[in-house]
Amino acid sequence: MKKSTAVHVKGTANSGGDIKIDLQLNKDSVGDKIWMRFSKSLTKKAGLPAKAAAMVNDKWVSLDSGPGS
């Protein structure tokens, strides 16, 4: 992961219910940030409260630490 410049994983996972996945990891111009876009099915499966899920559903969120860090 550290040497990759971009990774894109898209599909549907079935683990007790369908979860849509669309994960893109790209080096950005702001530094070593990892960005993730949360789907409604992912936040529901993760058990996030509705208020918290509404804050991240269908939005790109910067993660403080990512894979390989």
Q: What angle do CA 6, 47, 20 make, to 5 degrees?
A: 40
pLDDT band at 18 (very low <50, low <70, confident <90, very high): confident
Which residues are CB-contacts of 26 (< 8 A; sequence separation ≥ 6)? Answer: 5, 6, 7, 35
Rounded to whole angstroms, how far apart are CA atoms 69 and 2? Answer: 8
Higher pLDDT, 68 or 27: 27
Higher pLDDT, 2 or 66: 2
pLDDT band at 49 (very low <50, low <70, confident <90, very high): very high
pLDDT at residue 6 in the model: 79
pLDDT at residue 20 in the model: 77
pLDDT at residue 28 in the model: 63
